[in-house]
Structure 1
Amino acid sequence: MILVVDVGNTNIVLGVYKNSEIISSWRISTDAKKTSDEYSIQFMQLFIQGNLKPDDIKGIIISSVVPNIMHSLENMIKKIFGINPLVVGPGVKTGINIKYDNPKEVGADRIVNAVAAHEKYRKDLIIIDFGTATTFCALTKDANYLGGCITPGIRISSDALFDRAAKLPRVELEVPKNIICKNTVSSMQAGIIYGYIGQVEYIVNKIKKEMKDLGAAEPLVIATGGLANLIANETNFIDKVDSSLTLEGLRIIYEKNKE
C-alpha cells in the first residue's frame, strides 16, 4: 500500500492505495502551526478509523503548495512510518513536458493534476482546479503543459466581500433560484456564484481559442477540487468533474519513480 498526501492552502487530502485502487481517503485542515507530534496524533486516528496500520504503508508521496508545513509533515512521516517520502518537485519523473518560462514555478498541485489527466484521458485538455485559488491549465494530448492562469478562489472572493463591506452579511455558497433577487442574501449569492461562473466561462473560451491557434483539437474541460460540483452544475462549459484527479496523479507519479 502507498500513502498519497496533497497539501493545499486550506486542506490536506490523504489517500491510501492498494495497487491502483484507493481504499481510504480523508480531508483535514491545513495548519502550519501544528507540530509533527500533533500531526502524528491526527494521522494515527485516521488510520485507526480506516482499520489500517502504519506498517501497511510501503511508500509515501507528497505534493505541497505550503512550504512552511513540510518540516513538520516530513518529520511526522519518518517517525510514524519509517519512510522518507517522495516529494513532488524538480527531478521527479512526471512524463509531462512543462513549457513554462521557468518550470520550477509551476505548483506541484498543477503538475500532479496534469499527470493524472493525461494518463486518464489522452486528449487536449483544460484542467480547472477549484481550490483556495482556482487554477486553469492547458495540456496537449502529447503531454505538453502549455501553462494557464490563476484566479482567487470563490471562497477568497466571497470572504473579501464580507470583510470589506461592513453592512453585508456572511452567506452560504448556495445557488439561488434567480439572478434578479429580492433580498440581500440571495442577491449576494447570485452575484458570487453567477459572477464566478461567468469568469470561468470567459477564461475557458479564451484558453480554447489560444489552444486552437496552436493547432490543438477542441479540448476536454476537466474540473476538480472541493467546489468543482458547485460550479459545474451551473454551466455547460465543464465536460467532466473528476474529484479523484489529484490523488490519482500522486499515485501515478509514485509508480513512475518507485525504482
Structure 2
Amino acid sequence: MQIIVDIGNTDAVFGLYDQTTWQYIWRTPARLDEPADSYERRLRLWLLEASIPLSAIKSTVLSSVVPDLTPTMRAMLTELFGFDPIVVGPGVYPLLPIEILRPHEIGTDLVANALAAYTRYKKNCVVVDFGTALTFTTVSGEGKILGVAIAPGLKTAIRSLFSNTAQLPEVPIEVPASALGTNTTHAIQAGIVLGYEGLVRSLVGRIQAELNGDCIAVATGGLSGRIPSLQDVFTDIVPSLTLEGVRLIGEFVTNSTDRQ
C-alpha cells in the first residue's frame, strides 16, 4: 500500500492506494501554522479508522506547491513510516516519460496532471484543473508539455470580491437560474459561475484551435463538477487525476531506481 500526498494552496489531499485502486482519499486544510504532529495525528486516525496498520504502508510520495509546508509534511511522513517519501520536483523529472516545460517554474501539480493525462490518453490533451487556481495544462500525444494557462479559481474569485468590497457577501458556488441576477447572491453567482463557464469554453476552444482541433479536454480538481453545463466540453471528468499523477511519478522513480 502507498500513501500519496498532494499539498495545494487550499487543501492537503492524502490518498491510500492499494495495487490498482484508491481505497481512501482524505482532505484537510493546508495550514502553514499547523505543526507536523497535527498532520501526523490526523493521518494516524484515518488509517486507524480504515483498519490499516502503519506497517502496511510500503512507500509514500509527496507533491507540494506550498514550499513552506513541504519540509513539515516530509518530516511527518518520514517520522510516521520510518522511511523518506519520494518528493516530486525537478530532481526526479528526468526519470519521467514526458518533456517538461521550464521544470524549475512549473508547479508539481501541473506536472502530475500532464503525466496522468499522457499515460491515460496518449493523445493531445488539455487538463483543466478546478482548484485554488484554474489551470489549463496541455500535453501532446508524444508526452511534451506544450503550455499552461492560469486564472483565479472559482472560490478565489468569490473570496476576492468578498475581501475587497464593503457590501458583497461570500456566496456558495452554485449555478443560478438566470444570468439576470435579481439579488446580490444570484448576481455574484451569475458573474462568477456563469462567467467561468464562458472562460473555460473560450480558452479550451482556443487551445484546441491552435492544435487544429486535435485535442481532447479533461477536467479535474475538487470543483470540476460544479458547473454541469460544461460537461459537454470534457471527454472525461476525473477529480483524482492530480493524485493519480503524483502516484505515477512515484512509480516511475521507483522503477528507475530498481533498475540501477
So what's the TM-score if we normalise by structure 2? Answer: 0.93
1:19 partner letter? Q
Q: Which residue of 1 aligns with 2:238?
A: 242
Cα offsets for 1:67-104 (capped at 9, x unmatched): 10112111111111001000111131221112x2x322
Specify the alignment match of 1:184 in structure 2.
Answer: 184
Letter in 2 for 1:73: M
Q: Which residue of 2 aligns with 1:81?
A: 81
User: Deviation of residue 137 (structure 1)?
Assistant: 0.9
Given that residues 34 and 72 in structure 1 are in contact (C-alpha distance below 8 angstroms), is that contact kept between their aligned partners in structure 2? no
| Alpha-carbon distance, 1:138 to partner | 1.0
- Counterpart position of 1:58: 58
Displacement of 1:165:
2.2
Letter in 1 for 2:99: N
1:135·1:150 contact (CA, 8 Å) conserved in 2? yes
Structural RMSD (CA)? 1.3
Question: Does the aligned pair in 2 maintain the 1:37–1:76 contact within 8 Å?
Answer: yes
Letter in 1 for 2:148: G
Structure 2 counterpart of 1:249, one-letter code = G
The aligned runs of 1:105-116 (5 Å cut-off) are 105-116=105-116
| 1:101-124 per-position Cα deviation (integer Å, ceiling 9, x unaligned) | x32211100001111111111111
Cα distance in 2 between the residues matched to 1:219 and 1:71: 38
Comparing 220-229 with 166-175, greater Cα deviation is found at 166-175
| 1:126-166 Cα shifts (integer Å, max 9, x gaps) | 10111101110111111111111111111111111112221
Paired residues of 2:4 and 2:62 also in contact (CA < 8 A): yes
Q: Give the Cα–Cα distance (whole angstroms) in 2 for the partners of residues 230 and 110 of structure 1.
A: 21
Q: Among the aligned pairs, what percent are the same residue?
A: 36
Provide the C-alpha distance between the structure 2 equivalents of 1:169 and 1:204, rounded to a whole number of angstroms: 30
Q: Secondary structure at the match of 1:159?
A: helix
Please state how far the C-alpha of 1:197 moved relative to its aligned partner. Answer: 1.1
Distance 1:86 1:95 in 2: 17
Q: CA deviation at 1:211?
A: 2.2
Correspondences of 1:92-107 after superposition (within 5 Å): 92=92, 93-98=95-100, 100=101, 102-107=102-107
Q: Distance in 2 between matches of 1:112 and 1:223?
A: 14
Q: Distance in 2 between matches of 1:34 and 1:166?
A: 31
Alignment of 1:1-259 (within 5 A): 1-92=1-92, 93-98=95-100, 100=101, 102-212=102-212, 218-231=214-227, 233-235=228-230, 236-258=232-254, 259=258
Q: How many Å apart are 1:256 and its aligned residue?
A: 1.1
Q: State the secondary structure of the residue aligned to 1:249.
A: helix
Report the 3-state secondary structure (helix = DSSP H, G, I; strand = E; otherwise coil) of the residue aligned with 2:27: strand
Q: Measure the CA separation in 2 of the matches of 1:94 and 1:27.
A: 27
- 1:159-189 per-residue CA deviation (whole Å, 9 max, x = no partner) reads 1111222122221111111112322221211
Q: Distance in 2 between matches of 1:71 and 1:248?
A: 22
Cα offset, 1:239, TM superposition: 2.6
* Unmatched 5+ stretches in structure 2: none
Letter in 2 for 1:168: L
Aligned residue for 1:126, secondary structure, equals strand
**Normalized against structure 1, the TM-score is what?**
0.93
The 1-side partners of 2:108 and 2:223 are apart by 19
Deviations 1:2-22 (A, max 9, x none): 111001010111111111221
